[in-house]
Amino acid sequence: MEAFQELSAELKMTIAIGAPMVSDAGVEIGANLFDADGHYRTYTKQRLHEDEFPFFVANAANPHVTLTHEKSVFLGICHETMFEAPFEEAAKAEAEAYIALVAKPANGVERGAKHYAAMAKKHQLPVLMANAVGACEGFESRGESAIWGPKGELLGALSADEEGLLFFDFERARGCTLQIQRAEPEDEDALIELYARAGKALLKGGIDQWDASYPDRPRIHQDIQRGEAFVLRFGEQVRGAIVLNAEADEEYDEVTWQGRDSDALIVHRLAIAPKDQGAGFAQDLMRFAFEHAQERAFQSIRLDVFSENTRAIGFYERLGFERRGQIHFPRREAPFYCFEKALTVPPSSPLGTPGGGSKPPSENG
């Protein structure tokens, strides 16, 4: 238990761990909740499935709990989430979302998806189904964890046989506006802070890609003055940035590119605030880059990615970029991979994993 509490504090996130819990009434099916501030709570299942009766007892008096202190997110376990009552309770309490922790086979996933979408739409409440993957007692759990928005629309889903992460942005759900705009001089300090935090996050992940010397204030100031820096604002805050121009580093001359140099737009210094990585902002910035290039009649987009940044490499490959070679930059032993994509139509954003941009950026390419 101490290990999960420490991990919760380190990652600044609430962690829910399912486990049987012994009470005066018997053994209950429950979840241990660890908050980043050190607070510990439990929730136990209120309604059992018939095959659980021989082994467990229900705790009908146990109220639904919110998953975090900052967000009113209601929690339910498996069978009880297939009834409308907990969703009605969550809506009445003005919860921001409902999470169903489940273990469902293929037919259960199909029924659950229809039910959760209907509950989300009826109660205007985002619903997450977090399903197990692999062998359970007597069946194979199907996976396909998913999120439905307050209109019942499917916002995202994982595959049937792979574990993964789904992210839901509460601010987007509340209608905060996302805008990508040319950076203004007053954005300089925000960009300095963004790149510093992104560099620290990369280093913490073992990726020695950005440091105090890159990108530095003079370079960022120049990006803004030239009108080549663009910021992603979500609400009132700068959450991401990208630099777009036709200027390639001299190291690019070492690479055999497919298109003509004069027809290529170059992506530099794409960065996403660490707390927002996984929210889809990298896809938003790259979609903007494709539109920006096509409006100016560029025929391709080029960029480089630190070879140790496997997350960013996968991101660009899913967008259709092809590797053309590798180069080296000063103060970095590992090479940077060079990618290129010919422009035809803008790519659709892949659902799920984000990444990032150019010399040097996880979600910072």
Structure tokens at 308: 């140790």
d(CA 165, CA 278): 9
Predicted local distance difference test score (pLDDT) of residue 154: 86
Query: Which residues share a beta bridge with 32?
Result: 17, 42
| 178-342 topology per CATH | Aminopeptidase (3.40.630)
Q: Where are the beta strands (DSSP E) in the chain?
A: 15-23, 26-34, 40-44, 73-77, 97-102, 127-131, 133-136, 139-142, 146-148, 154-157, 178-182, 229-234, 237-245, 264-272, 300-306, 322-327, 336-342
Low-confidence ranges of the chain (pLDDT < 70): 62-70, 171-177, 345-365
∠ CA 193-197-203, rounded to 5°: 145
d(CA 293, CA 99) in angstroms, rounded, equals 40
C-alpha 243, offset from chain centre = 22
Per-residue pLDDT, 164: 78
Task: Return the pLDDT at 36.
Answer: 86
Handedness of CA 309, 313, 249, 233 (dihedral sign): negative
> What is the CA 320 to chain-centroid distance, rounded?
20
pLDDT at 150: 87
Domain limits, the chain: 2-173, 178-342
- Residue 44: count of CB within 10 angstroms of its CB: 21
pLDDT of residue 312: 92
Tokens of 10: 């380190």
Which is the CATH superfamily of the domain at 2-173? Answer: Carbon-nitrogen hydrolase (3.60.110.10)
